[in-house]
Structure 1
Amino acid sequence: MIRLMKPYLRYEDMEQDFREVFESGIFTRGRNVEAFSAEFAEYVGAKHAFFATSATTALWVCLRLLKISPGDEVAVSDFSFPATANVVEDVGAHPVFIDVDLATFNMRPDDLEAKINERTKAVIFVDALGNPTGLHQIKAICERRGIPLIEDAACAIGSMEAGQKCGAIADLTCFSFHPRKLLSTGEGGAITTRRDDWAEWLRVKLAHGAKGTQGLGLDFVDYGYNFRLPELQAIMGRKQLTRMDEVIDRRSAVRASYIEHLMPLGFIPQDVGRDVRYNVQSLVFRVPETVDRDALVHSLKDFEVEATLGTYCLSGTTYFRHRYADVQPTALHLDARTITLPCYEGVPVDIVAERIASSIKTIRA
C-alpha cells in the first residue's frame, strides 16, 4: 500500500538520547524541551516559542490570551479541520466563517473585509494544507483594523511567504506535531509570538500559573494549565527539525512530478503564490468535473493507493450548518472536489506519480 504519509522519524537517530532520558529519570521539563523551544523559535524566526499538547490546545490558549469571550466574533477560514472553529465555540464566541479562494484554498481578503464588524475580536487564518499564500494580505487588513491575527499553521512548519517563515508573520502562530505532519512528536503543538508581554503571559499560564522564587517552591501568581511536551517527544522534534528543509525539498520534487502526470488528466493543483515556499504538507488536487471524487478514492484502494478528501468546509459540517446556517459556497465546493494523494519519503518520485496516474487512467477507462 502506498500510504498518504509516513512520519519522518528514524529510531536510530534518537536511541542514544532516549537512553539518556531513561537513565536520568528526567522525563519532563528537562534539557531537551528547553533546547527544542529555542531551536524551534530560531527555525521559524520567532522571538518566543512555547509548547502545547496539540495545535488545538495551542489555539485555545491563544483565544484565552486575547480574552475572547461570549458575544465576541472570531473570523475563521472555512476550509480547515474542525478544531479551528471548535476552539472558538468552546470559549463561547461566534465563529464567523470566511470563504476561501478556489485556487489557493485560503481565506479571501474581500470576504473578510465584508464580515468584520465591531464584535470581531480576532482573525484565524489557516495555511490550508501548509500553503501560506495570502497571509500578508490578511495581516495588512488586521493591522489596519486593529484586530489580532492568529495563524493556524498546524500544517505549515517550514512554509514561508515574502521571505518570512510561518511563525514569524502573524501576532500568534499555532503549529501541530500530529503524525500526519512533517514534524511529528506523536501529538503536540507549539505557539510562537514576537510580543514580550504575551510571552510572559504564556510562560506563567503554561506552568500552572507559577513563577520561580528565591526561596523554596513556587509562587502561583495566576491560575494556569499543564499542556507540557515531555522530554521524549522533544527529542523526536529536535531530530526532525534538523531535516525540515531537506524534507520540504524532496516533497516539492514529488509535487512537481504529480503535476506533470496529473494535469494532463484534468487535475488542478492547489495554487501557490510566487513569493511562497510551500512545504507540501498535503498533496491536494481538485478533481475534474467528470470525476466522482469519493468513487475515485475508493477505487484507488484496489490499486494499493491510499487517498482521502482534501479537508472540510467547516460551515457545511452538521454541527455548524445547523447552528449558524451560513454555508460558504467555495469551501463547500472544495470539500467535495479535492483529493489528497500520497507524498512521503522512501519511494522514488516518478514511481509514485506514474503509478498513481496510471491507476487513475485505468479507473476512468
Structure 2
Amino acid sequence: MIRLIRPYISFDEVEADMRRMFDSGIFTRGVNVEAFRADIAAYTGAPHAFLATSATTALWLCLKRLNIGPGDEVVVSDFSFPATANVVEDLGARPVFADVSLDTYNMLPEALEAAISPRTRAVIAVDVFGNPTGMGLIAEICRARRLPLIEDAACAIGSSEGGKRCGVIADMTCFSFHPRKLLTTGEGGAITIHNPDWVEWFNRKLSHGAQGMLGYGLDFVDFGYNFRLSEPQAIMGRVQLRKLDAIVAERNQVRKAYIERLAPAGFVPQQIGADVVFNVQSLVFRVPERVDRDQLIAQLREDGIESTIGTYCMSATTYFRARYDNVQPNSEHLQRTTITLPCYEGVDIQFVCDSILQKSNF
C-alpha cells in the first residue's frame, strides 16, 4: 500500500536521547519537554509557547482563556475537521460557520464579516491543510472588530504568510503533532501566544492548577487539567523540528510534480498566495466534474494507493446540520469534490498519477 504520509522520524534518531531518559527515570516534565517548548517558540518567533496533549485540548484551553461560554458565539472556518467546532460546542457557546474559498479552502473575509454579531466573542480561522493564505487579512478584520483570533494551525507547523510563521499571526495559535502531520509525537500539540499576562494562567491550567512549591510539595492556586506532553514525545518532536524546513521544501517538490501531471487533466490544486510558504501537510486537489471522487478513492485502493477525502464541511455533518441548519455551500462542495493524495519523499508519483488518469478515463 502506498500510504498517504510516512513519518519523518526513525528510531536511530531518538535512540540516544531515549536511553538517557530511561537512565534518568524522568518521563514527564523533564529537560526535553522544556527544550521542545523553547524550540517551538524560537522556530515560530512566538514570545511564549506551551505544549499540550493535542490541538483539540489546545483549542479548548484557548477558548477557556477567553471565558467563552453559554450565550457566546465563535465564528469558525467551516471546512475543517469537526474538532474545530466541537470545542466551541463543548463550552456551551455557538459555533457560527463561515464559508470558505473554493481556491484556498480558507475562511472568506466577507463570510467572516457577515457572520459577526453582537454575541461574537472570538474567531477560529483554520490554515486548511497547512495553507495560511489570507490569515493576515483575517487577523486585520479581527483587530478592527476587537475580536481575539485563534489560529487553528493544526496542520500548519512550518508554514508562513508575508514572512510571518504560523504561530505569530494570530493572538493564539494551536498546532497538532498527530501522525498525519509533518511533525508527529504520536499525539500532542502546542499553543503559542503574544500576551505576557496569560503565561502563568496557561502554565497553571496545563498542569492541574499548580504554581510554585510549598515546603512539602506543589501549591495548587487554581483548578486545572493534565494536558501535558511527555518526555518521549518531546524527544521525537525536537528531532523533527530541526529538519522541518527541509521536509517542507521536499514536499513542495512532490506537490509540483503532481500538479505538472494532473492539472492538464482538470485536477485543480489548492491555491496558495504569492507570499506564502506552504508546508503541504496534505496534498489536495478538486477532481474534474466528470470524475466521481468517492469511486476514484475506491479504485485507487484497488491499485494499492491510499487516498481520502479532503476534509469535512462541518455545517453539513449530522450533528451540526440538525442543530443549526446552516450548511455553507462552498465548504459542502469541497467536501464532495476534493481528494487527498500520498505526499512524501520516495512516493511513486508516476504510478499514482497514471492510476488516477486511467481511472478518470483521461
The aligned residue for residue 187 of structure 1 is 187
Summarize the alignment of residues 321-332 of structure 1 with structure 2, pairs less than 5 Å apart. 321-332=321-332
CA distances 1:319-347 after superposition (whole Å, capped 9, x unpaired): 00000000000000000000000002333
Summarize the alignment of residues 65-84 of structure 1 with structure 2, pairs less than 5 Å apart. 65-84=65-84
Matched, 1:56 2:53: no
What one-letter code is carried by the residue in structure 1 that aligns with 2:352?
Answer: I
- 3-state SS in 1 of match to 2:75: strand
Matched, 1:316 2:316: yes
- 3-state SS in 2 of match to 1:79: coil
The aligned residue for residue 256 of structure 1 is 256
- 3-state SS in 1 of match to 2:191: strand
- 3-state SS in 1 of match to 2:232: helix
Contact 1:8 1:345 in 2 (8 A): no
- Give the number of aligned pairs: 361
The aligned residue for residue 360 of structure 1 is 356
What one-letter code is carried by the residue in structure 2 that aligns with 1:364?
Answer: S
The aligned residue for residue 46 of structure 1 is 46
The aligned residue for residue 210 of structure 2 is 210
The aligned residue for residue 113 of structure 1 is 113
What one-letter code is carried by the residue in structure 2 that aligns with 1:353?
Answer: I
The aligned residue for residue 346 of structure 2 is 346
Deviation at 1:355, TM superposition (A): 1.4
Contact 2:254 2:345 in 1 (8 A): no
CA–CA distance in structure 2, aligned partners of residues 359 and 346 of structure 1: 17
- For structure 2, the 5+ residue unaligned runs are none
Summarize the alignment of residues 239-318 of structure 1 with structure 2, pairs less than 5 Å apart. 239-318=239-318
Deviation at 1:214, TM superposition (A): 6.4
CA–CA distance in structure 2, aligned partners of residues 212 and 179 of structure 1: 34
Deviation at 1:81, TM superposition (A): 0.2
- 3-state SS in 1 of match to 2:284: strand
Contact 2:77 2:97 in 1 (8 A): yes
Percent identity over the alignment?
A: 63
Contact 1:171 1:194 in 2 (8 A): yes
- 3-state SS in 2 of match to 1:312: coil
RMSD after superposition? 0.9
CA–CA distance in structure 2, aligned partners of residues 356 and 213 of structure 1: 57
CA–CA distance in structure 1, aligned partners of residues 243 and 88 of structure 2: 34
CA distances 1:211-270 after superposition (whole Å, capped 9, x unpaired): 113633222111111111110000000000001000000000000000000001100000
* TM-score, length of structure 1 as denominator length: 0.98
Deviation at 1:47, TM superposition (A): 0.7
Deviation at 1:2, TM superposition (A): 1.2
CA–CA distance in structure 2, aligned partners of residues 177 and 268 of structure 1: 28
Matched, 1:160 2:160: yes
* TM-score, length of structure 2 as denominator length: 0.98
CA distances 1:165-186 after superposition (whole Å, capped 9, x unpaired): 0001100000000000000000
What one-letter code is carried by the residue in structure 1 that aligns with 2:359?
Answer: I
Deviation at 1:108, TM superposition (A): 0.4
What one-letter code is carried by the residue in structure 2 that aligns with 1:153?
Answer: A
Contact 1:261 1:353 in 2 (8 A): no
CA–CA distance in structure 1, aligned partners of residues 304 and 283 of structure 2: 17
CA distances 1:111-134 after superposition (whole Å, capped 9, x unpaired): 110110110000000000100000
Matched, 1:333 2:333: yes
CA distances 1:265-312 after superposition (whole Å, capped 9, x unpaired): 100000000010000000000000000000000001122111100000
Deviation at 1:28, TM superposition (A): 0.4
Deviation at 1:204, TM superposition (A): 1.5
- 3-state SS in 2 of match to 1:273: coil
Deviation at 1:205, TM superposition (A): 1.3
What one-letter code is carried by the residue in structure 1 that aligns with 2:308?
Answer: T
Please list every run of at least 4 consecutive aligned residues from structure 1 whose deviation after the TM superposition is greater than 6 angstroms: none
Contact 2:130 2:278 in 1 (8 A): yes
- 3-state SS in 1 of match to 2:8: coil
- 3-state SS in 1 of match to 2:281: coil
Deviation at 1:49, TM superposition (A): 0.7
